[in-house]
Structure formats: structure tokens, C-alpha cells
Amino acid sequence: MSDQTTRGLVLRSTGSWYTVLTDDGRRLECRLKGLFRIKGIRTTNPIAVGDRVTIELLPNEDTGNIVHIEERKNHLIRKATNLSKATHIIAANIDQMVVIVSLVKPRTSTGFIDRLLVTAEAYHIPARLVFNKLDLYDADTLDQLNELVSFYRSIGYPCLITSVVDRLHKNEFQELLAGKVSLLSGHSGVGKSALINMVDNTLDLKTGLISSFHEKGMHTTTFAEMFPLQFGGAVIDTPGLKEFGLVEFERSELGQRFPEFRKLMDDCRFNNCIHVDEPGCAVKAALAEGLVLPFRYTNYLHMLDELTT
């Protein structure tokens, strides 16, 4: 590497400009030099937050040109728009996805949770669930919380219950993030930024307001951005996703992204069983016996309907 180049980590992308943290601690605003195609991935953005890059430094300026993207260990993508076939890379080189959930103001549906978990499974990214805003839950909501936590833990997803107001499990949340690159996902308004601020007060991220009219979070994050944490590791805060379109999925493979289905699939009569109306389906048999929960199967069917053959 010459004196005119350096390596760094992409912290933010705002379209044509990228904020890069260099290995020697500088923050440079960089542009992309040349056309990049990453292993044939058709995306609206060739570079994503979390990418490691080589920068060609420009003389007498705090700017540079990105001339090389290092190979990614993983990446996470979503549809660029609901109607588009193009995809958008949300982030790259992720150690874990932390799904932030709230059962009130705004309520996160299990359908949305399962979309995120299925996507994490597809890209081999470990996922964790954080149920936030415990201070707002009434007795009925607490019952729902306990049922969901018990279920998701039973199929292998670690769960943590938090409250920013009460500083509940602050240390555990910090330990969850320490030393890892964590993608934080969840609807706007569930408390992603507030949780980050709770464990790292040097960041002072903007927190959103909840619209009382429709109880959906108002968007405060408009693009993905990585924030290095003072205690080690980094978080990637993502725009609040109203929908999470499934891409690069085959109908025959969807069931493999549900851990409780995956354990049963070898017992299905047909190797290409999609667990709908095939005879000898072990997943349908387990559903009838109460070993597969109805809400998970319903969410599976909804996702299956979206996928083309």
C-alpha cells in the first residue's frame, strides 16, 4: 500500500458520498472511483455500511476516492422498493442482528419479527431479540411477552427484556453489543436509538416521537449508519422498516429458515415438501399436535405467498 492510499471502514452512505473511518482514526468523506460489481449482486448501492475499503487519498483535502472493496464475510439486503426487483444492501460484515421489539406504542407484529429472523437465517447471521418498553406493559401484554420470550428461546433465539426508563438490564444489553458489529433492526419508535444512548452516552443519538394518531414511529433515521461504541464493538442503526421484502428466496427453501421446521423436514415424505398440502408432511403433523405454533405457521404461509416459484 502506497503513501497515497489507506484502508478504512464505511460508517455511512448518503448516496454518492461515503463517510469512512480510516485505520489511523481519521474520518474522510469519499466518493466511489469507477464501477463496482460485487459478485454479480444487482443492487442499488455497490458499497454498504460495514464494508472494508481501500481509499486513494487526495492531496491537501480531507477527502478520497474508494478504489477497492474487500471481500465481505456476509451482507444483508432488502428490496429497494416494494415494486422494484432491484435490491439494496443494508449493511455488510455483520456479527449479529439485534431485533428490537415493542409490544406497545408501536406494537411489533410477529409477522415482522419472523421476517427479520428468516432473513438473518438466510444470510447466516446470528439473531437476538430485545423486547423493549417493559415499563408500558399491562397484565395482558406481560402475558403476551412471557409467551413470546418462552417460545423464541425454545427455538434458539436469545431474548432480553429491557426498559430505557427503568434502566432495566442495561448491563446485559451492553454485554450483548460489546466487541461485535451489531445490526439493530425494528420499527421506528421501538427505542433503538434510546437503547444505544442508554449504554453509550457519548453518542447522543436523536430519538423519535411516537405519533399518537396512528401509533407508528416517526422516522428519525433516514439511512443506515455505523456508530463505534466506547466500550468496543459498533452498532449499525437502520431506518425503521415498515416492510421487509423477502429477496433471493426459493419457495422450497423457506421452511429451512424456520428452526423448528428444519428439525422436522427430514421426516417429510417428499424432499421438496413446502408444508402446505403435501401428504406425509411432518411439519403439518407437528402443527396438528401443537408442536409447531399456529402463528409461526401462518407467518410462514404469508411469506410463502410472496415468493415466486
- In tens, the pLDDT along 123-155 reads 899 999 999 999 999 999 999 999 999 999 999
Please report the pLDDT score of residue 65 as a whole number.
93
Please report the pLDDT score of residue 133 as a whole number.
97
Say if residue 23 is exposed, middle or buried (CB neighbours under 10 Å; 0-12, 13-18, 19+).
Answer: exposed
Model pTM above 0.85: yes
Other Cβ atoms closer than 10 A to 249:
17
- In tens, the pLDDT along 283-309 reads 999 999 999 999 999 999 999 998 864
Is residue 164 pLDDT above 50, yes or no? yes
Please report the pLDDT score of residue 218 as a whole number.
41
Please report the pLDDT score of residue 195 as a whole number.
94
Within the chain, where are the H helices?
110-122, 139-154, 170-177, 192-199, 251-254, 259-262, 282-288, 294-306
CATH number for domain 93-237, candidates 2.70.70.10, 3.40.109.10, 3.40.50.300, 3.40.640.10: 3.40.50.300
Q: How far is CA 7 from CA 11, 17, 184, 198, 293, in A?
A: 13, 16, 25, 31, 48
- In tens, the pLDDT along 62-102 reads 889 999 999 999 988 876 665 566 677 889 999 999 999 99
Please report the pLDDT score of residue 2 as a whole number.
55
Please report the pLDDT score of residue 209 as a whole number.
39
Please report the pLDDT score of residue 308 as a whole number.
63
Please report the pLDDT score of residue 27 as a whole number.
93
Q: How confident is the model at residue 19 (pLDDT cuts 50, 70, 90)?
A: very high
Q: What is the mean pLDDT of the chain?
A: 86
Please report the pLDDT score of residue 219 as a whole number.
39
CATH number for domain 5-72, candidates 2.40.30.10, 1.10.10.10, 2.102.10.10, 2.40.50.140: 2.40.50.140
Q: For the chain, what are the domain ranges?
A: 5-72, 93-237, 251-306
Average pLDDT, stretch 25-42? 74
Please report the pLDDT score of residue 59 as a whole number.
82
- In tens, the pLDDT along 209-231 reads 333 333 444 434 446 789 999 99
Please report the pLDDT score of residue 207 as a whole number.
59
Spatial separation of the C-alpha atoms in residues 73 and 51, rounded to whole Å: 10
Please report the pLDDT score of residue 241 as a whole number.
52
Stronger pLDDT, 39 or 203, i.e. the higher one: 203
For a pLDDT cut of 90, what percent of the chain falls above it?
Answer: 66
Spatial separation of the C-alpha atoms in residues 21 and 10, rounded to whole Å: 6
* Poorest-pLDDT segment among 54-68, 91-105, 202-216, 267-281: 202-216
Cis ω on the peptide bond leading into residue 158 (within 30° of 0)? no
Other Cβ atoms closer than 10 A to 51:
24
Highest mean predicted confidence (pLDDT) among 86-95, 189-198, 266-275:
266-275
8 Å CB contact between 194 and 203: no
* Poorest-pLDDT segment among 20-24, 44-48, 273-277: 44-48
Stronger pLDDT, 300 or 36, i.e. the higher one: 300
Average pLDDT, stretch 192-197? 91
Grid coordinates in use for 184? 439493530
Spatial separation of the C-alpha atoms in residues 106 and 103, rounded to whole Å: 7
Class of domain 251-306: mainly alpha
